[in-house]
Homo-oligomer: A and B are copies of this chain.
Amino acid sequence: MSDLPNSVEFHEEGPREGFQIEKCVYPLEQRAALIDALSATGLKQIQVASFVNQKMVPQMADAEQLFAAIKRRAGVRYTGLWLNKTGFQRAANTPGVDLDGKIMFYTTDAFSQHNNGCSAAEMRDKQAEWVQIYDQHHIPLEQAYIMTAWGCNFQGDVPLSAITDTVKFIIKLCRDNNKPLPNIYLADTVGWATPEKVKQRLGAVRDLVPEARLGLHLHDTRGAGAANVYAALQMGVQLFDSSVAGLGGCPFANHSDSMAAGNVCTEDMVFMCEEMGIATGIDLDALIQASRLAEKIIGRKLNGRVMHGGSLSKYRKNN
């Protein structure tokens, strides 16, 4: 029927992105229960927590205990996030963390300064050090993220050249260190992407690294998330970060009684893919149950659609 891929892989980010952004700290057993529910859906990778400064992010202070509390399921990878060596050391010392070597790049100085306290160029140079660290720990270099790959709230539209320059840097970095290319992710960190620009950027990256696996980390801040996923599928992308129930988002200064939407919603995208004949390996109805558990834990209506509309399975069963 089309040239879309036969299968895709969703990496679940909800437990980390979702709970990190909330004002209150949710009980550990509730977060563990959600991760256990997610483990039973067919998801292959779940980001459990971040190992970051507990003073800055008290919601994630118990990352070690959370990893200890979850029931690990065979075939599922349980990953963590770190932003500096202290965080990485904590993750490496925590039993049950599936360590994935990742490097991160920024396309604008302002966003990089805001998140890392250094320029985008300085941040680039630091990534060479991470390649060494992963090497010393025998962790394969798996992922390279390019943040704000479409636009940045500090500096506006990001030129395509900022992406291609970063990819060229990654190519050189891997060559210098005698490493194969990692999966290259374009991240729409603050929701500037729209479908044609998704295609444009993916096309430009693929031209440079036809052998690399490309992935997308999308936020649905402005409602184009599903269309961006569809555009990426049309470009053959098979790797997406997403959040159960659309967890994530951020409190928005301009409209402060509300929350901007978070990551693209895992179960909505699973529904869309499966309906188009693209295998996800995920049991949609089980995932909807997990998303409703997330909503119960968070305590307000979440952004996912199919969790409220329901899947089509019961309508089809009757016919």
Q: Could you tell me which A residues sit within 8 Å of B by CB distance?
A: 1-2, 4, 151-157, 191-192, 194-197, 199-200, 220-227, 229-231, 252, 254-255, 258-261, 265, 267-269, 271-272, 275-277, 292, 301, 304-312, 314-316, 318-319
A261 touches B309 (CB 8 A): yes
B268 touches A222 (CB 8 A): yes
Q: In the complex this chain forms, how many copies of it are found?
A: 2
CB distance from A309 to the nearest CB of B (A): 4
Some 9 contacts from A to B, beta carbons below 8 A apart, are A151-B315, A155-B319, A194-B272, A196-B277, A221-B305, A223-B271, A226-B227, A252-B309, A260-B305
Q: Which of B196, B254, B271, B311 contacts A1 (CB 8 A)?
A: B196
Chain B positions within 8 Å of A310 at CB level: 252, 254-255, 260
CB distance from A162 to the nearest CB of B (A): 14
Chain B positions within 8 Å of A316 at CB level: 156-157
A223 touches B222 (CB 8 A): no
Sorted nearest first, the 4 A-B pairs with minimum C-beta distance are A223-B268, A223-B305, A156-B319, A221-B309
